[in-house]
Amino acid sequence: MTELLFKVRTLEEGLQLFRQHFDYEYFLSHRKEEIDLLCASRRVLAEDIISQENIPGFNRATMDGYAVKARDTFGASDSLPAYLEVKGEIKMSEKPDFPLPDGQAIRISTGGMLPEGADAVVMLEHTDQLSETLIEINKPVAPWENVLREDEDIKKNELILKKGQCLRPPDIGLLAAVGWDKVVVYRKLGIAIISTGNEIVPVNVKPKPAEVRDINSYALGAAVRETGSIPHYRGIVPDDEVILEGELRGCLENREIDLILISGGSSVGSRDYTLKVLNRLGPPGILVQGLALKPGKPTIVSLNQQKPIIGLPGHPVSALMVFENVIRRIINDLKGEIFPFAEQKTIEAILEKNVFSDAGREEYIRVVLEKRDGQLWAVPILGKSGMISSLARADGYITIGLNQEGLYQGQKVTVILF
């Protein structure tokens, strides 16, 4: 029995085993595509971005006021103001076509371009207009005060974004600033979703007694979309070794599919032949068979023809929790993303009652969030684990770590939201 060769792994051990066998460099090197910057939000950069220009490219006012030579204001105060002659106004978008003479000032708006010779902007609030052509300045400015210098924001040849960064809205803005209207990113992942089990019927069918609808294709498909990947719904495969093998071989040959999820197959017998099939599909085969997670212990991680195949528990609650904690991390690796925070969605709350776990495994406790007396409470859901309704009722879940025995009432906990 293959079963005996494997020991239950911790999540970190399991991920490490996978990473040792998967050739990320080769995988990512074949996934580059150029897309329009308008569509690049949350995509992962496949190349470093080096600015071809100085930004802003000219000395730019950061306040409304007067462009001046800073030294003309030195020593100015309420009792001994500096007087400067005003030479008109610089319009937005216009390049001043004259150098600023000594002792003169010119009206400028935020974003305007300083004329040659000017090296500071006096804020409007620190001036008094004495006439059309004369102002009084009662506070000195230092050189380059209220000015963004021509290369101060971004320097030509500067590395501004790194390969592997997930592009957030501000990054998109940065790329727009340097004129990158197209950008090279990694292709989106295609993820096959297979539900197995004779008892599973399509969602639009009324189940007969002993049958249940195909919840996992829908719930996992939604979870796949949240990772920015494309779900490939492969439907329901009955408990039949030959059909399962055919389906998996089809997925392995399909170039649109990068990762395969099979849920179910935990009924007596079906788990055994699922394991046999996985080991027939090419090396290295099954890497992990059993993870120290609750729920999620029967999780299988296999790698065949450089495509990961993940076996998830058939139960929808377990399948989704394994997705969030195991598959999401494998997907993040495959996406080529280097930044680890962007995927998190959490909220802090006070734990409402004690929860316990066995040492040596990570445990996920679903919680409902409740606001009471201005405090946010995480109320554990401790019902029967077989209830899909309890999963949907949960706002999120908390994690009892590998070496923790529990979490205690009144403790601050981090809730990971669904």
- Please choose, out of 8-16, 77-85, 90-98, 400-408, the segment that lies near a second copy by the rule CB under 8 A: 90-98
Residues 252-271 that bind a second copy (CB under 8 A): 266-268
162 binds a second copy (CB under 8 A): no
Residues 270-309 that bind a second copy (CB under 8 A): none
233 binds a second copy (CB under 8 A): yes
Question: CA 196 to CA 124: how far, in whole Å?
Answer: 72
Question: CA 244 to CA 229: how far, in whole Å?
Answer: 24
Minimum distance of a second copy from residue 305's CB (angstroms): 28
239 binds a second copy (CB under 8 A): yes
H or E segment to which residue 171 belongs: helix 169-177
Q: Which of these, 119, 186, 230, lies nearest to 108 by C-alpha position?
A: 119
Q: Which long-range contacts (CB under 8 A, 24 or more apart) does 377-384 make?
A: 377/349, 377/350, 377/351, 377/352, 378/349, 378/350, 378/351, 378/352, 378/413, 378/415, 379/352, 379/353, 380/351, 380/352, 380/353, 380/355, 382/355
3 binds a second copy (CB under 8 A): no
Work out the angle at residue 264's Cα, subtended by the Cα atoms of residues 248 and 244, and round it to the nearest 5 degrees.
Answer: 25
94 binds a second copy (CB under 8 A): yes
- Please choose, out of 11-19, 131-139, 197-205, 274-282, the segment that lies near a second copy by the rule CB under 8 A: 197-205
19 binds a second copy (CB under 8 A): no
Residues 362-401 that bind a second copy (CB under 8 A): 369, 384-389, 391-392, 394-396
Q: Which of these, 126, 100, 94, lies nearest to 112 by C-alpha position?
A: 94
Place of tokens 């990068």: 258
214 binds a second copy (CB under 8 A): yes
56 binds a second copy (CB under 8 A): yes
204 binds a second copy (CB under 8 A): yes
Give φ, ψ of 30 to 5 degrees: -105, 15
Minimum distance of a second copy from residue 265's CB (angstroms): 11
Q: What binding mask, one character per residue, do residues 321-360 give for a second copy by CB under 8 A, x or -?
A: --x---------------x-xx-xxxxx------------
38 binds a second copy (CB under 8 A): yes
Q: Spell out the alpha helix ranges (H) of 254-365.
A: 270-280, 316-322, 328-334
Cβ proximity to a second copy: between 162 and 280 the closer is 162
Question: CA 369 to CA 415: how far, in whole Å?
Answer: 9
- Please choose, out of 19-27, 172-180, 243-251, 329-337, the segment that lies near a second copy by the rule CB under 8 A: 172-180
Binding a second copy by CB under 8 A: which of 217, 229, 263, 289? Answer: 217
